[in-house]
Structure 1
């Protein structure tokens, strides 16, 4: 039975490089892979899965009306991979479950668990509810040696705790932090604002 995997982690935990590594492993064995990425992720150009160390691979762009199930049914790959899965909708996550359940194709979706305020993205919420297997891709906190759990948004090097949920960015905008460091910096920011 094919399974839906959700592999989540903070920014800078190596999710994209895992996507690229997994695609390479399948293709090296002569197997077909479908690689998807949401259109909203334009950090390195729309339609590319790119790791921070420079590896890159072209992917099928997922728009709001993209039917990933139909694409998978037409091509019948050995595996479906998806980067930045937090940006998917509930309906699109249902398509991923249909790819597994109806077509018998495993799907591995990589993405963030939560936004910079600690709230789940719609896609992540649905993946936590629907995935057969949930795995964490780990990294360490920017400020200490604990496991990073949250994404801290920064502007001009200073933490930001309010704003729109989605702001596309990389190391210039987000750093991985543990819960303790996140709370400490949020408290410090609130104290500075009251002065």
Structure 2
């Protein structure tokens, strides 16, 4: 029986790498997959899921108006689909998470989604709220804070090296903009010592 999965973590835990590995495993066995990626994720190349390890795969781009159920339904008219993958799932809207549920429940196709649980203010994303609520299985992908504890929060760093507390929820970036920390250091605003992040400063614990 097909299920909806939500794999969540803080930044830089290897979500895209895990997605690409799982999709490769399906294709290696001759199974067809669909990979979706958000149109606003322009860190590397729009229309691709790219991991920090440098591997990538073409993806169907989605925006806030995209209908996942209708897209998959139209595709299976001409070809079977064994699995659906969604990267940057925190950017989904409530209605889109419902569409993914319908893919699982009505089309009997497993859906694997990957994303962040919360933003730089410690607030949940809309997509993550409903995935955590409606998914058949939630699984955390773990990474570490500079103190060695599990990192669960995403700290945004300003140009001058200070910790951001205000701003738009969505700001696309990688190591140059975000640092994963444990809850304690997130609320203490202590990102730790990070070197060679493309900025002219060093973070101090």
TM-score, normalised to structure 1, is 0.92
Map of 1:158 onto structure 2: 162
SS in 2 for 1:126: helix
Map of 2:99 onto structure 1: 95
SS in 2 for 1:109: strand
Of 140, 143, 147, the match for 1:136: 140
Map of 1:147 onto structure 2: 150
User: Which range is displaced more, 153-162 or 89-98?
Assistant: 153-162
User: Which range is displaced more, 84-93 or 56-65?
Assistant: 56-65
Q: CA deviation at 1:155?
A: 1.6
Query: How far, CA to CA, are the matches of 2:35 and 2:13 in structure 1?
Result: 20
Map of 1:31 onto structure 2: 31
Of 165, 170, 173, the match for 2:177: 173
Of 186, 191, 202, the match for 1:182: 186
Q: Deviations over 1:81-128 (max 9, x none)?
A: 000000010011011000000000000000000000000000001111
Query: How far, CA to CA, are the matches of 1:130 and 1:107 in structure 2?
Result: 12
The structure with the greater share of residues assigned to helix is 1
Query: How far, CA to CA, are the matches of 2:150 and 2:162 in structure 1?
Result: 21
**What is the Cα-based RMSD across aligned positions, in Å?**
1.1
TM-score, normalised to structure 2, is 0.87
Query: How far, CA to CA, are the matches of 1:12 and 1:69 in structure 2?
Result: 29
Q: CA deviation at 1:158?
A: 2.5
Query: How far, CA to CA, are the matches of 2:23 and 2:74 in structure 1?
Result: 19
- Structure 2 gaps of 5+ residues are 191-205
Map of 2:75 onto structure 1: 75
